């Protein structure tokens, strides 16, 4: 039945109604009388997963129906199992859901023990039918688990929007920032699981999410030949257990494993460019909000005022303007000489805006320099992932499809009438 979640956990494994959350976090709130598409959150107990759960509370298009976490927490109600770390409490509609496992997917869900939730102890097989009911899956899984799990879900006909890194640079996986390259969503039609109605869409690294938004208007107006980027990255980007207090308090760590290698390739994939990117990353004792100092060599001459006007005038394309999670103006220019700052600016537009300041001329070989601040957990992770799910839903008329088919996703003509 719609609205029911079947989960594992002894006496806790009863069917629980998926309650409609009370508060709207995104524009609009749930539309009265409108059917909403059910969504599962993978990695729901981590920092990014918690933000996804909160952002789905009262969402006008989606309804949180399933939450999946670690094996040791499976079978417990989400409100009891999660160590809530982002302020306030878990949304009431999510707190009563029973947590399924997130270590793999059952190869044969029809053989699942009654009352048992999605489990990862069973082998993952590409093309197998996992036991999730929700047609849309937003994934905050660790990369090691996401690599196989997300492909299995897409192969089983789910629309998977992932924050994890393993599939970002796959040639057939769209890497999307909706305000920058929404047309990349058409790439799902060429994916091997498209015939089953599945899709896999990725958002970029938490630094690139903000960097791409800041660079896109500049690249389109003047061209960018090379970029040097120095990041100051918040501790929340390392996860709940990523760094100990002794390691980071009063300290700067001038390396983050695997981070520098991602930024250049992902930025170029989002922008559709071949910019030469040099990167140095640092972990700093800031809770939320990544800062990046950016130095650009431009393709054509531009003064700081020219760059500022291009950024100030930027508006999202039509495909992004309708998405409820995205702000109408995703770029915020700060004129103050000491802004942006993570403490003051990371939460701009509910964490979904990118703040830019200190726009100035730079000495050769660069032409322009500026500072960028973006909320790594929202703009750079949960919000980016959810916005991609909204983009897919809008482009493929997903809500109309799920009402007609009772939850199954079938490929249809996208909004606008052209086949993807």
Q: Which residues of the chain have pLDDT under 70?
A: 1-34, 102-130, 398-420
List the CATH number of the domain containing 211.
3.30.360.10
Rounded to 5°, angle at Cα 8 from 125 and 389: 60
User: Does some domain include residue 201?
Assistant: no
38, containing H or E segment: strand 37-42
Angle at 111 between CA 105 and CA 113, to 5 degrees: 85
At residue 251, φ and ψ (nearest 5 deg) are -140, 160
Q: What are phi and psi of 160, to 5 degrees?
A: -110, 120
Distance CA 190, CA 175 (A): 14
pLDDT tens digits along 269-304: 999 999 999 999 999 999 999 999 999 999 999 999
**Domain assignment present for 417:** no
Q: Are residues 356 and 265 in the same domain?
A: yes
Residue 125 confidence (pLDDT): 39
Which residues, 6 or more positions from 30, have their beta carbon under 8 angstroms from its beta carbon? Answer: 20, 21, 24, 36, 58, 59, 60, 63
Shared domain check, 115 and 259 = no
Looking at the structure, do residues 236 and 160 belong to the same domain, yes or no? no
Residue-level pLDDT at 243: 86
Question: Distance between CA atoms of 224 and 212, rounded to whole angstroms?
Answer: 12
Q: Which SS3 state, helix, strand or coil, does residue 272 take? A: coil
Residue 130 lies in a domain: yes
Answer yes or no: is 390 within a domain.
Answer: no
Q: Which of 158, 290, 395, 396 is catalytic?
A: 290
Options 59, 158, 161, 206, the catalytic residue: 206
- Give, as one character, the DSSP assignment of residue 127: T
In this structure, are 152 and 239 located in the same domain? no
For position 75, what pLDDT does the model report? 87
Q: Are residues 142 and 225 in the same domain?
A: no
Give the domain range for residue 306: 206-376
Q: Known catalytic residue: 206?
A: yes
Cα distances from 69 to residues 33, 91, 312, in angstroms, run 31, 17, 41
160 in the same domain as 22: yes
Residues 93-130 have pLDDT tens digits of 999 999 987 554 333 233 333 333 333 333 333 433 34
Residues 163 and 245 in one domain: no
142 and 265 together in one domain: no
397 conformational bin, left if phi > 0, alpha if psi -120 to 50, beta if neither:
left
The CATH code of the domain that includes 76 is: 3.40.50.720
On whether both 319 and 223 belong to a single domain, the answer is: yes
Task: Give me the pLDDT at residue 115, please.
Answer: 34
| Cβ proximity of 301 and 223 under 8 Å | no
The predicted structure's pLDDT at residue 71: 77
Q: Is residue 258 part of a domain?
A: yes
Whether residue 375 lies in the annotated active site: no
Evaluate whether residue 100 is within a structural domain.
yes
Same domain (yes/no): 130, 255: no
In sequence order, the β-bridge partners of residue 69 are: 101
pTM over 0.85: no
155 and 21 share one domain:
yes
Calculate ∠ Cα 99-47-35, nearest 5°: 55
219 and 342 assigned to the same domain: yes
- 255 close to 281: Cβ distance less than 8 angstroms: yes
């Amino acid at each position: 039945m719609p609205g029911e979640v079947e989960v594992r956990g002894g006496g806790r494994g009863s069917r629980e109604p998926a309650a409609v959350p009370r508060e709207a976090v995104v524009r609009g709130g749930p539309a009265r009388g409108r059917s909403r598409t059910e969504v599962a959150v993978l990695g729901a107990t981590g920092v990014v997963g918690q933000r996804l759960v909160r952002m789905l509370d009262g969402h006008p298009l989606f309804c949180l129906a399933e939450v999946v976490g670690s094996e040791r927490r499976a079978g417990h109600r989400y409100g009891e199992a999660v160590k809530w770390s982002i302020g306030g409490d878990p949304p009431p509609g999510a707190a009563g859901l029973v947590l399924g496992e997130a270590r793999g997917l059952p190869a044969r869900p029809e053989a699942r023990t009654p009352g048992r939730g999605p489990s990862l102890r069973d082998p993952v097989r590409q093309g197998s039918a996992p036991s999730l009911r929700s047609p849309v899956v937003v994934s905050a899984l660790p990369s090691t688990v996401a690599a196989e799990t997300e492909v299995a879900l897409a192969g089983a006909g789910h629309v998977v929007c992932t924050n994890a890194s393993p599939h970002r640079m796959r040639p057939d996986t769209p890497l999307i920032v909706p305000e920058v390259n929404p047309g990349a969503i058409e790439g799902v039609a060429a994916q091997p699981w498209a015939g089953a109605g599945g899709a896999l869409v990725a958002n970029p690294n938490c630094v690139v999410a903000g960097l791409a938004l800041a660079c896109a208007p500049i690249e389109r107006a003047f061209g960018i030949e090379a970029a040097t980027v120095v990041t100051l990255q918040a501790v929340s980007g390392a996860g709940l257990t990523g760094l100990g207090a002794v390691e980071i308090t009063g300290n700067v760590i001038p390396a983050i494993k695997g981070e520098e290698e991602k930024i250049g390739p992902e930025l170029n994939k989002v922008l559709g460019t071949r910019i030469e990117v040099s990167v140095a990353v640092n972990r700093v004792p800031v809770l939320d909000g990544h800062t990046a100092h950016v130095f650009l060599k431009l393709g054509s001459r531009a003064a700081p005022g020219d760059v500022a006007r291009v950024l100030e005038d930027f508006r999202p394309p039509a495909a992004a303007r309708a998405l409820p999670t995205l702000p109408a103006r995703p770029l915020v220019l700060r004129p103050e000489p000491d802004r942006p700052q993570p403490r003051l600016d990371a939460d701009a537009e509910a964490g979904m805006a990118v703040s830019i300041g200190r726009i100035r001329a730079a000495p050769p070989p660069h032409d322009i320099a500026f500072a960028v601040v973006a909320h790594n957990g929202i703009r750079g992770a949960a919000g980016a992932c959810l916005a991609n799910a909204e983009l897919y839903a809008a482009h493929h008329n997903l809500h109309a499809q799920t009402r007609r088919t009772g939850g199954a996703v079938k490929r249809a003509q996208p909004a606008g009438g052209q086949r993807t």
